[in-house]
Amino acid sequence: MKLDVPVTPVPHEKRPLYRHLYFQVIVAIAVGALVGHFYPQTGEALKPLGDGFIKLVKMIIAPVIFLTIVTGLAGMGSLKGVGSVVGKAFAYFLTFSTLALIVGLIVANVVQPGSGMNIDPASLDATIVSGYAEKAHENSLTGFVMDIIPTTLVSAFVEGNILQVLFVAILFGIGLILIGEPAKPVLNVLESISLAIFKVVDILMKAAPIGAFGAFAFTIGKYGIASIMNLAMLVGTFYLTSAMFVIVILGTVCLANGFSIFRLISYLKAEILLVLGTSSSESALPSLMEKMEKAGCARPVVGLVVPTGYSFNLDGTNIYMTLAALFIAQATNTDLSLGQQLLLLAVAMLSSKGAAGVTGAGFITLAATLSVVPTVPVAGMALILGVDRFMSECRSITNFIGNAVATVVVSRWQGALDREQFDAVLGGRETGPALPTASSVAVPAGLRLGENGAN
């Protein structure tokens, strides 16, 4: 069903190529790679540029999530609509996260990237991965669930924990729904603040090329392109598997829902390049939320699906987990029966949620999984530590694209996708409307079930 959103026409300007963010980021990545390769010490010294940009973006993530969710939920007028969106989102997350684990398992068995390495586990230095193993034990499933609840109402914003901010925002949004009309002045203030926050996001994105330059120069300068050659089979297999998952599996999902994965990728190319440059999907989270709204996805759906997906819909991380675990088993000549592999998959399903939102979550989650399935030596992680950084970019990009697809699909399932606007934006015919406020959106029927029951 079409959203009745007043659109402010935006003239389609023909800007020079050098003024496009995606072109600036491409140039920055290329220059960063050259600096890191020819002047490795200088490349390593540029690390603060990438770290500083990521800190700037993380600074704005909490208010973006809070304001988007609260204003979106308050405009729904119904608690049943919230439950409907959350239920459909988690059904999608569970299905495709599990499918990603299975794909990694199948590819590892077919390609066998670690076969023939004949590594003796006793010869590996387990101390270099002990820190990751300790972090993995700290992030048990129970601890993860308890950590969703912040110490105080404001501590979630201070610590920058995405799930805690999400929890507080949903509670606050539900509170405004239950209050009804008297909450209107509060909602108006939050809408005005939201416009200002998104303008700040636009300002920060202008620094993206600098951040990408520094981060990529550091990666190449510290690890060197040559460092991946010894483990090229694993890295290459992972990249090809992730590409196959995006193009074939997610592409089929997109076709079934009436749009092209390639057009969606083209629409988000600047953000994808930013993720590539910084090795962090969080660096593009605010921009993804803004672009999904501009593409016609309803604000309540964007506010609930995107932040939640960043913790529960990690397709790239899940492919990496089963593929890397079987690579270690093959490299150390550890035979795994089908039952043991299925146990590994089941544990990975749980541990991937337990380490969600943690910096370096892919490697930490792998440590958590191998700790529970002792058949595969945890010390074997030392084999892939050197190339993990090169795989983190692919993990982040796959996670990012997966969450973009999830947002569109759940919006369509919920009847909360302005199809005309979506097709126009992905087709490049217009840049999208000005961001609508919650009060300017006529929320579709799918989000307004049981209106009288909530108030």
**110 vs 438, more confident:** 110
What integer pLDDT is reported at residue 181 of this predicted model? 79
Identity of the amino acid at 284:
A
**154 vs 354, more confident:** 154
In sequence order, what are the residues at sequence separation of 6 or more whose Cβ sits closer than 8 angstroms to the Cβ of residue 222? 36, 40, 43, 44
pLDDT at 148 over 90: no
What integer pLDDT is reported at residue 103 of this predicted model? 94
Write out pLDDT tens, residues 243-263: 999 999 999 999 999 999 999
What integer pLDDT is reported at residue 447 of this predicted model? 47
Would you say residue 451 lies in a domain?
no
3-state helix, strand, coil in the chain (%, to 5): 75, 0, 20
Provide φ and ψ at 360, rounded to 5°.
70, 35
Share of the chain above pLDDT 70, in %: 77
What integer pLDDT is reported at residue 256 of this predicted model? 94
Would you say residue 443 lies in a domain?
no
What integer pLDDT is reported at residue 432 of this predicted model? 43
What integer pLDDT is reported at residue 439 of this predicted model? 40
Which CATH number goes with the domain that contains 427?
1.10.3860.10
pLDDT at 133 over 80: no
What integer pLDDT is reported at residue 401 of this predicted model? 94
Nearest by Cα to 368 from 145, 126, 139: 139
Which range has the top average pLDDT, 219-223, 336-340, 365-369? 336-340
Would you say residue 352 lies in a domain?
yes
What integer pLDDT is reported at residue 9 of this predicted model? 45
Spacing of C-alpha 187 from chain mean position: 28
Would you say residue 44 lies in a domain?
yes
CB 162 within 8 A of CB 311: yes
State the chain's mean pLDDT as an integer: 78
pTM for the complete prediction? 0.74
Write out pLDDT tens, residues 17-27: 777 777 888 88
Structure tokens at 341: 């592999």
Domain that holds residue 33: 20-432
Which range has the top average pLDDT, 2-11, 47-56, 65-74, 103-112? 103-112
Would you say residue 346 lies in a domain?
yes
What integer pLDDT is reported at residue 314 of this predicted model? 85
Would you say residue 92 lies in a domain?
yes
What integer pLDDT is reported at residue 267 of this predicted model? 93
Identity of the amino acid at 41:
Q
d(CA 262, CA 276): 17
pLDDT at 361 over 90: no
Which range has the top average pLDDT, 25-29, 125-129, 279-283? 25-29
d(CA 393, CA 399): 10
4 bridge partner residues: 442
Nearest by Cα to 323 from 93, 118, 101: 101
Structure tokens at 322: 């089963």
pLDDT at 188 over 50: yes
Number of compact structural domains in the chain: 1
Would you say residue 449 lies in a domain?
no
In sequence order, what are the residues at sequence separation of 6 or more whose Cβ sits closer than 8 angstroms to the Cβ of residue 174? 73, 79, 82
What integer pLDDT is reported at residue 59 of this predicted model? 83
What value does the mean pLDDT take over residues 113-124? 73
CA-to-CA dists, residue 376 to 134, 213, 231, 331, 337, angstroms: 17, 38, 19, 10, 12
Would you say residue 441 lies in a domain?
no
**39 vs 224, more confident:** 39
Listed range (158-167, 306-315, 387-396, 437-446) with the worst mean pLDDT: 437-446
